[in-house]
């Protein structure tokens, strides 16, 4: 099964002047019972936080929270005692487990652009933990770069408690990338910039495609393009 969702079908959140946000799944003021999650992927928000603004401290529990930084800088603080700077090319993971609180602030003048993804964990009741890694994924060309995984087969990536993997992809105009998958897994692709064909379906900037019960995902660059590819199990186990 292949489902195309265009950029105009994303939910534009009414948060305020300090934050521009588009929701790919039901979140906050947006609820669609047919669009709750994709495997264990529960949230995918495309966020831009304006300079001199802050998301105040708030709680999480039993969720793997992943932030992928594209532009600008954020200052992270949490109840575990972490105070960290996140810049473009950083990947952050919070395993909220039995509970933590955190805040994110843009202390600079320029907007910060980032993706936030939430995954249902494959195990409840774990101690909360934090990890961040500078991957510099935006410098890579014509390949898929793993950013975070729970599959324990990849090195130098952020670990999360979900049998899922998040990749950053780049493909040049006229070039191809093939992603091997399985019928028991699902794939979501969200276009950051440019345009691509995915299994002969055309996607433009901010379009997404959800694919199920396939054995291969073929990406062709109709222009130079970057995208996020998320590989998830059709059904997360042990949750």
pLDDT at 3 over 80: yes
The CATH code of the domain that includes 10 is: 2.60.120.10
Q: Do the domain assignments include residue 89?
A: yes
**Mean of pLDDT over the chain:** 95
Could you list the residue range(s) of the whole structural domain that residue 174 is in? Answer: 2-233
CA angle 88, 89, 93 (to 5 degrees): 105
Per-residue pLDDT, averaged over 182-186, amounts to 96
**End-to-end CA, the chain:** 25
Question: Are the beta carbons of 22 and 13 closer than 8 angstroms?
Answer: yes
Per-residue pLDDT band at 239 (split at 50, 70, 90): very low
pLDDT at res. 151:
82
Q: What is the pLDDT of residues 97-155, one digit of tens each?
A: 999 999 999 999 999 999 999 999 999 999 999 999 999 899 999 999 999 999 876 77
Q: Do the domain assignments include residue 124?
A: yes
Per-residue pLDDT, averaged over 202-226, amounts to 98
Q: Spell out the SS3 assignment of the chain.
A: CEEEECHHHCEECCCECCEEEEECCCECCECCCCCCCECCEEEEEEEEECCCEEEEEEEECCCEEEEEEEECEEEEEECCCCEEEEECCEEEEEECCCCEEEEEEECCCCCEEEEEEEECCCCCCCCCEEEEEECCHHHCCCEEEEEEECCCCCCCCEECCCCCEEEEEEECCCCEEEEECCCCEEEEEEEEECCEEECCEEECCCCEEEEECCCEEEEEECCCEEEEEEEEECCCCCC
Q: Do the domain assignments include residue 238?
A: no
Q: Do the domain assignments include residue 38?
A: yes
Number of domains the chain contains: 1
Question: Are the beta carbons of 236 and 123 closer than 8 angstroms?
Answer: no
pLDDT at 238 over 60: no
Query: Which residue did the predictor score with more confidence, 236 or 44?
Result: 44
Backbone angles phi, psi at 138, to 5 degrees: -70, -10
Q: Do the domain assignments include residue 239?
A: no
């Amino acid at each position: 099964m292949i489902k195309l969702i265009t950029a105009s079908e994303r939910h534009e959140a009414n948060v305020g002047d300090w934050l521009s946000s588009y929701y790919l799944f039901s979140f906050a003021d947006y609820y669609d019972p047919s669009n709750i999650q994709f495997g264990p992927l529960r949230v995918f928000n495309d966020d831009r936080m304006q300079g001199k603004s802050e998301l105040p401290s708030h709680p999480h529990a039993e969720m793997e929270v992943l932030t992928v930084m594209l532009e600008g800088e954020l200052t992270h603080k949490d109840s575990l005692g972490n105070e960290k700077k996140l810049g473009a090319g950083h990947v952050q993971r919070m395993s909220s487990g039995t509970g933590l609180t955190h805040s994110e602030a843009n202390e600079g003048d320029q907007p910060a652009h980032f993706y936030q993804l939430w995954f249902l964990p494959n195990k409840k009741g774990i101690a909360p933990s934090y990890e961040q890694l500078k991957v510099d994924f935006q410098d890579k060309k014509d390949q898929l770069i793993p950013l975070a995984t729970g599959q324990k087969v990849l090195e130098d990536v952020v670990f999360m408690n979900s049998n899922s993997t998040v990749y950053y992809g780049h493909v040049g105009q006229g070039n191809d990338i093939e992603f091997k998958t399985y019928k028991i897994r699902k794939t979501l692709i969200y276009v950051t910039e440019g345009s691509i064909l995915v299994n002969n379906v055309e996607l433009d900037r901010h379009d997404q495609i959800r694919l199920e019960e396939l054995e291969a995902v073929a990406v062709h660059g109709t222009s130079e393009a970057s995208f996020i590819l998320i590989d998830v199990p059709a059904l997360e186990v042990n949750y």
